[in-house]
Amino acid sequence: MKHLLSLEQLTQAEIEGLIHSAVDLKAKRKSCPQVLAGQTWALIFNKSSTRTRVSFEVGIRELGGSPMFLSGSEMQLGRGEPVKDTARVLGRMVDGAIIRTFAQKDVDDFASFSGIPTINALTDDEHPCQILADLQTMQERLGGWKNKRVCFLGDGDCNVARSWIWASARLGFELVVGAPAPFQPADSFMERVPKGTVSVESDAMRAVSGCDVVYTDVWVSMGKEAESADRLRVLSPYQINTQLMAAANPGAVVMHCLPAYRGKEITDEVMEAHAGIIFEEAENRLHAQKAVMTELVR
């Protein structure tokens, strides 16, 4: 692996290797190999972040390196300097880059022009780091994903949903995307996904039926704020609440990438009942990303 640009580009063996390494790094949290010693890694963020920023900054330090946070709007990037020029400058000065932005193409271009390990920290298309942490959490809490049925409920065409779809296609577990027609995965996207593990269901109750994991994300992703009113109206039947959870398998867990908007995609009651696993997911961002960076400098 040279970069982590999407889950689409990873093989089953690569994903499994990263999860194995993440679990191992978690066990030796404060005595992990200093694989980034003497290195500086840049974080270039064009969107807000709490978990991703903090977990990368802490993770880089724990691996012996130095993080450098750069807000895209304060860089010349924000005044129109092309990504390919920014990439060639940073490629001569820093050892790795972590990018949160809108267009996937910008992260892909940065990787090819900079020549340094580049990580997608969320684009409009994918959020691979999040799903690696989620898979680690499934490994620890449910013993893995084999024979598990996962439901992604809500905006089925968002970055987190798409990365889940690739995880299902690569690892072979069943994924049901529960979403209303305007928020189902685009046909042009699904054409790229191997058939067999992913299904789409417009009825929320039917979508969660028989599921071991019920997963949701915000209804209004960053950059979609102008569509807020429409999204909240159309997605309201997909809220994870106690009544809906009764349709899932007994003992089913709820997962959420966070931030959570109580009263919208999830009720406070369900959120608090599943807080243990949800905040474990958040912590696992640190371990999974340390595994990714360790792999990229190997």
**For residues 11 and 204, what is the distance between their CA atoms, to the nearest angstrom?**
31
In the complex with ligand NVA, the residue whose CB is nearer, 32 or 133, is 133
Min. distance of Cβ 159 from ligand NVA in angstroms? 5
**Residue listed under structure tokens 């892909």:** 108
Specify the stretch interacting with ligand CP by CB under 6 A; choose among 19-27, 85-93, 145-153, 252-260: 252-260
Q: Which residues bind ligand NVA (CB under 6 A)?
A: 122, 158-160, 217-218, 221-222, 257
Residue 50 binding result from ligand CP, ligand NVA, none, given CB thresholds of 5 to 8 Å by partner type: ligand CP
The catalytic position among 3, 158, 257, 289 is 257
Q: Is 38 exposed, middle or buried (0-12, 13-18, 19+ CB in 10 A)?
A: exposed
107 binds ligand CP (CB under 6 A): no
Q: Which of residues 111-150 bind ligand CP (CB under 6 A)?
A: 122, 130
In the complex with ligand NVA, the residue whose CB is nearer, 214 or 218, is 218
Min. distance of Cβ 75 from ligand NVA in angstroms? 21
| Residue 257 is among the residues annotated as catalytic for this protein | yes
**For residues 285 and 276, what is the distance between their CA atoms, to the nearest angstrom?**
15
260's tokens: 């959570």
Strands 213-216 and 96-100: unpaired
Min. distance of Cβ 46 from ligand NVA in angstroms? 12
The alpha carbon torsion through 63, 260, 200, 284 (nearest 10 deg) reads 20
Whole-Å CA distances, 264 to 99, 122, 220, 259, 271: 28, 22, 10, 12, 11
* 3-state percent helix, strand, coil for the chain, nearest multiple of 5: 50, 15, 35
Q: Which of residues 188-207 bind ligand CP (CB under 6 A)?
A: none
The catalytic position among 100, 231, 274, 287 is 100
Interacting residues with ligand CP (CB under 6 A): 49-52, 122, 130, 257-259
Catalytic (active-site) positions:
100, 127, 130, 217, 257, 285
